[in-house]
Amino acid sequence: MSTNYNLIQNKGSATIKAWTKGVPFEEQAQQQLQNIATMPLIHSHIAVMPDVHMGKGATIGSVIPSVNAVIPAAVGVDIGCGMVATKTTLTASQLPDNLSGIRQAFEAAIPHGRTGGRRRGSRDKGAWHNIPDIVATEWQKLEKRFEHICEKHPAIKNSNHVNHLGTMGTGNHFLELCLDENNAVWIMLHSGSRGVGNRIGTYFIELAKKEMQRHQINLPDVDLAYLEEGSEYFADYVEAVEWAQDFAAKNREIMMINAIAALRKQIPVAFSTADLAVNCHHNYISREHHFGKDCFVTRKGAVRAQKGEMGIIPGSMGARSYIVRGLGNPESFNSCSHGAGRVMSRTQAKKVYNIQDQIDATQGVECRKDAAVIDEIPHAYKDIDKVMQAQKDLVEVVYTLKQVVCVKG
């Protein structure tokens, strides 16, 4: 298979292979990768995706294989964050001319951001006030494993879990109605493990830091604290992360069910959604075998793209998104990008752009166009087409989607 990556000069023992040709690659992100490359637990090399940008401790848009250890901050606190997309049998001509009703129906069906249903006594407006039957039923399937984790780590129990199951969250999480190149209608959404995943991630990151202090291990960045296999908290962390990943996948599944139900009430035409559905993580760990060794692969802002495996690469709000098929490139540890990737921080975007810029950038999309979502303006992200070109040896495009309705957290 041909290679499309750059080799990055580094001081560490691990090689850095970056699929960043033709896209911005900030110096701070490069330095973070240099830091990770010095870690003794890294296996073979680090793979860098074209949507790469600086994160907390570890770089977003990186694939980090490790042997006998994991770095909790590399997984992050939005554990299991990912995408789900479903193709429907509807076509563009069957949608109403005014799509505001569909957006309002989506917003009413799925608690999100700062405008969703509110629990009594809680400041979290994006949680359920009254738990729907589907949420209660699915939580029962997750609860026993969660209670087992909490027996050893009771601090995790005091978090939003069932109240967040089936809810979107804030930031760059979204729900969209899209059209593909053949005018077929898709529903696509982005979310993760919500409050409970955040609690798990934050909790074990701090435990890992304490482990480093206890063993007097010096790190290039304190957020790169790791847990070694066989240590006190390693197995508990892996168990908790795998549970949070299951929670996140189920969270997206419930939201998709509710979104489809909401759409049915707005469309007088019967339709099905059995044609194609994709549900994939992009902040997670996976036990895999690469370059002769069993290892933990941490994908922080990256999607698994084994040969033939379907994935989703969303563009920014107002830009195209892609349903892709993995090419199984071993050099990337069978991975691809998870989106376009930011080129400026949320704070900077709010300083540079205004509401009119947001209106202009999202023409033709039924969505919020106010000051609260300027940080998600398409200009704050890399050019998705250049990102796709940079990873042409990682995935092939199956469908190209353009949103017509967008609900932002």
Residues labelled as active-site residues: 338
Sign of the torsion angle spanned by Cα atoms 58, 60, 62, 63: positive
Give the largest CA-CA distance in the chain. Answer: 66
Determine the Cα angle at 136 with ends 131 and 142, to 5°. Answer: 130
Give the whole-angstrom CA distance, residue 104 versus residue 258: 13
The DSSP letter of residue 112 is -
CA Rg, the chain, in Å?
21
Helical (H) or strand (E) element with 69: strand 69-70
Contact 371, 294 (CB under 8 A): no
Q: Within a 10 A sphere around the Cβ of 227, how many other Cβ atoms?
A: 23
Cα within 13 Å of Cα(6), Cβ side? 14
DSSP string, 275-313: SEEEEEESEEEEEEEETTEEEEEEEESEEE--TT-EEEE
Structure tokens at 247: 């929670």
Helical (H) or strand (E) element with 257: helix 234-266
Determine the Cα angle at 192 with ends 302 and 70, to 5°. Answer: 55
Give the whole-angstrom CA distance, residue 392 versus residue 404: 26
Task: Name residue 384's amino acid.
Answer: I
How do 293-300 and 60-66 pair as beta strands? antiparallel
